[in-house]
């Protein structure tokens, strides 16, 4: 199947490559030429604009940093809507504000284009091995139509409700992940300052109620001092800002989210915005002057 793919960053690039490995013909576009060249080497064809991608493909996947980027790609000059025809399907796999998904879906519908939101969880490792968790909002019939394509990139794809429901689910996910990393960092700083080996603490508690996928993924990174980004602090700041905005809109209190967001903002100000979000541990390391290391 011919598929358009727009946005070839840390997540988009391996997702696109998995579609190529599965035998699909990809037409790709990104503003960073090196990213396009890498995917072209893997077997894709490049396009000069989002409009050209839409002119050549009936199914288009977008994977972009935030709401303004997606709006530009879909509704802007030389964007998807300028090149799309009726019955084109756009699967936006970016993590953005639910209200932005709803706004864009209305604009797409006016031209007969179908849009669903389908953000993902799992970070770069799961993007590479094709085991992402995919959360989808929008027309269930469109979800059913693209389900097999989604499952090339993910281990699960769940229809969560109407347009925007996928991104609402993703925001809930990101709140849990951020607070979990903060809790893990706080707890392991406690054990480190008390003189207990963090690896022994990890081995002792990972099989109990405190154990989590987040702890299993992030404690090895923290204790090795490896903050190579699978998901960057700056992107988590974006997600938590979207969560707070959505919470304010619907009347959901998010005091813990606001606290962790301030921690992330401080890390950004200290130059750690491009670190993996496991770098929340560095907030505690700065406060104590102590590193959590094995």
- Told to judge if 170 belongs to the known catalytic residues of this protein, a careful annotator would answer yes
pLDDT for residue 230? 86
On whether both 144 and 28 belong to a single domain, the answer is yes
Write the CATH number for 47: 3.40.50.720
Average pLDDT value over all residues in the chain:
97
Choose one of 163, 192, 208: the last residue of a domain: 163
C-alpha span between 47 and 139 (Å, rounded)? 28
pLDDT tens, 62-73? Answer: 999 999 999 999
Q: Which residue has the tokens 């269930």?
A: 140
Query: Mean pLDDT across the stretch 141-158?
Result: 98
The verdict on residue 293 lying in a domain is: no
30 in a domain, yes or no?
Answer: yes
Separation between Cα atoms, residue 239 and residue 23, nearest integer Å: 33
User: Looking at residue 179, which CATH number applies to its domain?
Assistant: 1.10.1040.10
Same structural domain for residues 18 and 111?
Answer: yes
Residue 272 lies in a domain: yes
The pLDDT-based confidence of 91 (bands split at 50, 70, 90) is very high
Distance CA 36, CA 21 (A): 16
Residues 202 and 253 in one domain: yes
Q: How far apart are CA 57 and CA 124, in angstroms?
A: 26
Instruction: Given the residues 51, 114, 126, 170, select the one marked as catalytic.
Output: 170
Distance CA 27, CA 258 (A): 40
Q: How many domains does the chain have?
A: 2
The model's pTM is 0.93
- 88 shares a domain with 14: yes
Check whether 203 has a pLDDT greater than 90. yes
Same domain for 59 and 149, yes or no, is yes
Specify whether 159 is located in the same domain as 232. no
Do residue 100 and residue 208 come from a single domain? Answer: no
For residue 272, the enclosing domain spans 168-288
Q: Using one digit for the tens of pLDDT, what is the confidence trace for 208-245?
A: 999 999 999 999 999 999 999 989 999 999 999 999 99
């Amino acid at each position: 199947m011919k598929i358009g793919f727009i946005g070839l960053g840390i997540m988009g690039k391996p997702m696109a490559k998995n579609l190529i490995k599965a035998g699909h013909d990809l037409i790709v576009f990104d503003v960073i030429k090196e990213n396009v060249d890498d995917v072209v080497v893997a077997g894709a064809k490049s396009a000069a604009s989002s409009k050209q991608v839409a002119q050549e493909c009936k199914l288009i996947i977008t994977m972009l940093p935030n709401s303004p980027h997606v709006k530009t790609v879909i509704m802007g000059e030389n964007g998807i809507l300028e090149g799309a025809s009726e019955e084109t399907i756009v699967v936006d796999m970016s993590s953005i504000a639910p209200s932005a998904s709803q706004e864009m879906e209305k604009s797409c519908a006016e031209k007969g284009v179908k849009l669903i939101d389908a953000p993902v969880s799992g970070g770069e490792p799961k993007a590479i091995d094709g085991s992402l968790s995919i959360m989808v909002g929008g027309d269930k019939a469109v979800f059913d139509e693209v389900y097999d394509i989604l499952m090339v990139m993910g281990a699960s794809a769940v229809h969560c409700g109407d347009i925007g429901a996928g991104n609402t689910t993703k925001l809930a996910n990101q709140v849990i992940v951020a607070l979990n990393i903060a809790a893990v960092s706080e707890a392991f700083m406690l054990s480190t300052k008390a003189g207990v080996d963090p690896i022994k603490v990890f081995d002792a508690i990972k099989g109990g109620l405190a154990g989590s996928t987040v702890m299993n993924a992030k404690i090895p990174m923290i204790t090795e001092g490896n903050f190579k980004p699978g998901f960057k602090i700056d992107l988590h700041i974006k997600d938590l800002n979207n969560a707070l905005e959505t919470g304010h809109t619907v009347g959901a209190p998010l005091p813990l989210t606001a606290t962790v967001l301030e921690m992330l903002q401080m890390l950004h100000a200290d130059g750690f915005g491009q670190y993996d979000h496991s770098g929340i541990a560095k907030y505690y390391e700065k406060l104590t002057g102590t590193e959590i290391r094995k």
